[in-house]
Amino acid sequence: MAQILKMVGQRLLLGLLTLFVVSLIIFLGVELLPGDLAQAILGQAATPETVAAFRRELKLDLPAYERYFEWLGGMLQGDFGRSLANQREISELLGARLENTLFLAALAAVISVPLALTLGILAALYRNTLYDRTVNVVTLTSISFPEFFVAYILILFLAIQAGVFPSISNIGPDIGFWERVYRTMLPALTLTLVVVAHMMRMTRAAIINLLASPYIEMARLKGLSPSRIIIHHALPNALAPIINVVVLNIAYLIVGVVVVEVVFVYPGLGQLLVDSVSKRDLPVVQACSLVFAMTFILLNLLADVLSIVTNPRLLHPR
């Protein structure tokens, strides 16, 4: 137990260091954007005095390192600042949008994870059969297309022609849970088609790799059925790489939703990021980017810890 806690502490410190570097990259990336932010917001008709006063209000007259540490200190205290577009608290904007993004990612994970594990186990069970080849071709084809292309294909067939789901995911706090699931189904299916291939192929590869182990050969010699061998003997020992790829794909479901949310006009964090870029609302852009980075780093940390905990050879190294 002490070894696990030590390992988690090391990974957590490394995650904090990574997050600090990412915050610096985000700030410098915004800082190096061409043009004057105050001039862009006020327009070309603004007088130099008005632009100078607005720059002082935004603290753009301070050195970059002072503004960075002030911004980072505010972030550590939960103060994301105010939006330049509507003067609302950024934390208030992020709250509802992050909840919507997490709901979309959770719905896609509920669909994709069991589907990928089932397809991967069956592909390992019926290796080199027509089913195995068909599943590999279909999943690789779906992952080869860009997300927006998959989204438009689903809109064409499931929303326009079949009329099963709405083409725009218009959700709000006043709608019920199942109505929210119904309106979010198309973007969730898009994300499912994008990530299921990774998890399915990793499950298949991990199980097939273990099927050549001596204890699997012994189980075959004892007369156990192939399904029992895979489910009760191979799958538990293949959990480490499977859990790793599942958690990493869940991280992608959260931070990779920008294009999907824009296509379906889904009111999530990705849509907020794109809207803020178009309005040059840089404090919101910085906050959204940092939240995405923090989520991805935490889920990578979780994947690292789970892969070690579920693998005795990593948990008790010699």
Backbone angles phi, psi at 175, to 5 degrees: -95, 155
Question: How far lies 220's CA from each of 122, 185, 211, 233, 296, in Å?
Answer: 18, 42, 10, 11, 41
pLDDT of residue 186: 92
User: Residue 212 pLDDT more than 90?
Assistant: no
What pLDDT digit, counting tens, does each position of 174-196 carry? 888 999 999 999 999 999 988 88
Q: For residue 312, is pLDDT > 70?
A: no
Beta strands in the chain (DSSP E): none
Which domains are assigned to the chain? 16-76 (no CATH), 98-315 (1.10.3720.10)
Between the alpha carbon of residue 156 and those of residues 117, 144, 151, 161, 307, the distances in Å are 28, 19, 9, 6, 40
281/273 Cα distance (integer angstroms): 9
pLDDT in tens, 4-49: 777 778 888 888 888 889 888 888 887 777 766 676 677 777 777 7
What is the rounded CA–CA span in Å between residue 235 and residue 228?
10
Name the residue among 247, 273, 243 with its Cα closest to residue 100: 273
- Over the stretch 78-129, which tens digit does the pLDDT of each residue have? 778 888 777 788 888 888 888 899 999 999 999 999 999 889 888 888 888 8
**Residues with Cβ < 8 Å from 176, sequence gap 6 or more?**
none
Residue type, 109: A
Distance CA 121, CA 233 (A): 12
At 239, which amino acid appears? L
What's the number of CA atoms in the CB half-sphere (13 Å) around residue 232? 8
Q: What b/e readout covers 115-126, taking b as 16+ CB neighbours within 10 angstroms?
A: ebbebbbbbbbe
The pLDDT of residue 313 is 60
